[in-house]
Amino acid sequence: MAESAAAVHPKKASVLQCRTSRFEVTLGVFFTAALFHFVADLLAKSPSGSAQAIGGVVVAFAGFFSFVWMRIHSSALSRRRRAYFDEANILETYQPRARAMGHLFQPDPPTPGATVTIADSKDQEMHTDAEKAAFNKNRDTDQEMHTDAEKAAFNKNRDTHYANMFEQAMRLNREMDAAAKAPISSAASTKPEESKGFPKPENPVKSPGKLSEENKTDLSSDAFNAPPDDHTLKDVSEIKSLNLVPALTPEEMQSFGIRRSKSKTGKLTKKKMNLRAIVSLLAFCFCVHGSRTTTMEQLLETNQFLVVGVSGCKITFETDWPDRTCAMHGQEEERVPDSTCTWKAIVPLSDPREQSSVPTKVLFVGQIDSRPVVVVRTLEFPRGYREGHHYHHASILDNKSDLNLAWYSPQTLTGVLYDNEQHLLYLIHYWGSTSSVYIYALDGVTEGTTLKATHAATISGRPGYLGKLKWFSDPYKKKFYYYNNTSAKDRRTGELKSVLMADFIRFVMSDEEVGDAERSIAADPSSIYISGGALFAAYQEQGNQTTRHIVIPLDNFSLAIRCHPVKDKSPDAMMIVRDWEFCKLRDGAAHANYTACRKANTWSKPQCTLQSIEIIESNLISLPGAFLISTTIVLVALVCIVVYCRRSKYSTASHARNVQPAYPNLATDMSYDF
């Protein structure tokens, strides 16, 4: 059977081989482009300025190449386009079209029957006696094969099928002649009416009706706001009086995964390549931050910040970090207090509002000499100056004040969070299989008086995973962050997620973890701390087991400060006091001015000016290798643009006009790719 098919279609094997080769080549180009993107990403993340510049050029070329390739050649990986416009493909391999329009390309087979011959002369008879006898015999046999009833039924079906066919054909010819004689302008301006000769369908397809108001689901109804019935709550009236569970707004529903469905209506429009946009993209890729040093000002986007470190009973205050340096905390032997301090949680009681005029305090929850304590200490501005750092260290036990918290158990406490908007303190306890959250209202945070904590409510019987998480408070981002270990084998692999302070009660009431994912972390969990929009962590390099400290902004993971302190000792906590809180410590709470503080922040994002572009271009020209690679990539890009423009000028209509004389009955809709 295969041999007969090959005999009938001698070009099928070559066509199949051509398609297979095109698929393999397209797949190879696809993987090559992916490898090119991977190399460009490595160059862009390199600490070297020249490598970053080359990476920018490679990224621009890879993006342009991938865009052009996807528009032209990516369809070869799918079944959408099986054959390009080719006479051989249409006439020999495109079988669906042959079923519908095969009569246009293949001659009709000869009609079976007796062969009729024409006599050369008038005297010669057209048929011999034997031929006449055979014809009469066949005629008599045919008359005997069918009865009169069968013949009558056949004639009835024939008349029914071909009834009024001649009249219909004549009427269509008259309409076509009238349409051809009509003016072209009137034919273009008026829409032809439907022909009365073609009957309309009896059961037309109806469009779907509009959704009624009764079938619509109201996402803001009380059904979405009602808490589950299996929650065990205590002092529910007090929780409602604190207005901790307001009605869900659309923004809040979106943050918790309840999103309104968006209709995907709209049409894709093809746009021509904008060469000016490509040139702008190439210029922007050169304008990248190629500096080999990253400062804390660039990382935090402010030059007004104070870093607070805590280790045991010692607390350090530091600002003005030189480039690519770690905090001086733990690098030198300081005076160690006689007491032993072990902290379960260290929480900054910050109030970054403009009307706040009290200095920042820090809440310490833990044990001093095996005695459970809750200590509050006011921060100080560093008075000394050491090795380029404004630096100061002191003891937590100096100038401290105690805070009485009921229901505090150091054995089961796993996290302490502070909501600076509602001045609420959350204590998370883990009881083995369940967790509980104790809520306290703090008085005196904004007035500068002695702090007092009043027990407001308790939420018990919550899932056990809530107490296993490591929690952090960031008053500047107005979020609570938590670290969750995602690997059972490696405790250093985890994921960082966040919850808005206003949504924390709903997070606790939920049976599932619904936090927003921030990023994955591969670091020592005991060294992770979040404050002021920055992430502090420590990890060990493979091979030499050297501890490296790292500081990463939460909004931009492409920047980081990696440093190696003198002593491999991670602090118990690292905190950042910035902007208005920093000015209150520096100038004093009574003399600080909010407007002057904002004007004093002279840090701004580096802008890509024409002068900076000229400097980067001069640096690239000074590097022969980078210049050669850039020139090669630009030339290849120009070749791709020329090929693309030449291909866009190729008109399928003109190609169809060339084919039309050879195939006059070829349909117009076959002039496009299938």
Secondary structure (DSSP) of 128-154: -HHHHHHHHHHHHHHHHHS-HHHHHHH
Confidence of residue 410 (pLDDT cuts 50, 70, 90): confident
Q: Which two tokens stand for residue 10?
A: 């001698």
Q: Which of 335, 362, 361, 359 shows the shortest CA–CA distance to 346?
A: 362
410 versus 509: the higher-pLDDT residue is: 509
pLDDT score of 633 more than 60: yes
363 versus 16: the higher-pLDDT residue is: 363
The pLDDT, as a whole number, for residue 610 is 43
Question: Residues with Cβ < 8 Å from 672, sequence gap 6 or more?
Answer: 85, 652
Cβ burial of 278 (10 Å; 0-12, 13-18, 19+) is middle
pLDDT score of 325 more than 60: no
| % of the chain beyond a pLDDT of 90 | 0
Confidence of residue 605 (pLDDT cuts 50, 70, 90): low
pLDDT score of 450 more than 70: yes
The pLDDT, as a whole number, for residue 56 is 83
Ranges 255-269, 300-314, 335-349, 639-653, most confident: 300-314
* CA trace torsion 20, 25, 31, 33 (10° rounding): -150
End-to-end CA distance of the chain: 28
pLDDT score of 583 more than 50: yes
Confidence of residue 482 (pLDDT cuts 50, 70, 90): confident
The three-class DSSP label of residue 334 is: coil
The pLDDT, as a whole number, for residue 211 is 36
pLDDT score of 545 more than 70: no
The three-class DSSP label of residue 623 is: coil
Query: How far is 256 from 515, CA to CA, in rounded Å?
Result: 7
109 versus 673: the higher-pLDDT residue is: 109
pLDDT score of 473 more than 80: yes
Weakest mean pLDDT among 121-135, 401-415, 551-565: 551-565
Contact (CB, 8 A) for 453 and 440: yes
The pLDDT, as a whole number, for residue 11 is 45
pLDDT score of 258 more than 50: no
144 versus 90: the higher-pLDDT residue is: 144
Q: What is the pairing mode between strands 434-443 and 452-463?
A: antiparallel
303, 308, 310 from 384: Cα distances, Å = 19, 15, 18
* CA trace torsion 212, 215, 219, 221 (10° rounding): 100
Name residue 291's amino acid: S
Weakest mean pLDDT among 118-122, 257-261, 575-579: 257-261
Token look-up 């020139």 returns 631
Mean residue pLDDT across the chain: 65
Q: Which of 260, 244, 240 shows the shortest CA–CA distance to 508?
A: 244
332 versus 573: the higher-pLDDT residue is: 573
One-character DSSP codes across 469-528? SEEEEETTTTEEEEEEE--SS-TTEEEEEEEEGGGHHHHHH-SS--PEEEEEEES-GGG-
| % of the chain beyond a pLDDT of 70 | 51
The pLDDT, as a whole number, for residue 68 is 81
Please write the tens of the pLDDT for every residue from 32-41.
888 888 888 8
Q: Which of 651, 652, 673, 645 shows the shortest CA–CA distance to 68?
A: 645
Query: How far is 156 from 176, CA to CA, in rounded Å?
Result: 32
Token look-up 């493979």 returns 542
Mean pLDDT over 573-590 rounds to 80
- Measured from the Cβ of residue 626, the count of other Cβ atoms closer than 10 Å reads 17
Mean pLDDT over 217-240 rounds to 37
Mean pLDDT over 74-82 rounds to 56
Confidence of residue 497 (pLDDT cuts 50, 70, 90): confident
The three-class DSSP label of residue 458 is: strand
Weakest mean pLDDT among 54-68, 219-233, 298-312: 219-233
Please write the tens of the pLDDT for every residue from 344-378.
788 888 777 766 777 778 888 888 887 888 888 88
pLDDT score of 643 more than 50: yes
Mean pLDDT over 570-578 rounds to 77
Helix locations, 380-497, DSSP H? 465-468
Query: How far is 553 from 559, CA to CA, in rounded Å?
Result: 7
Mean pLDDT over 421-435 rounds to 81
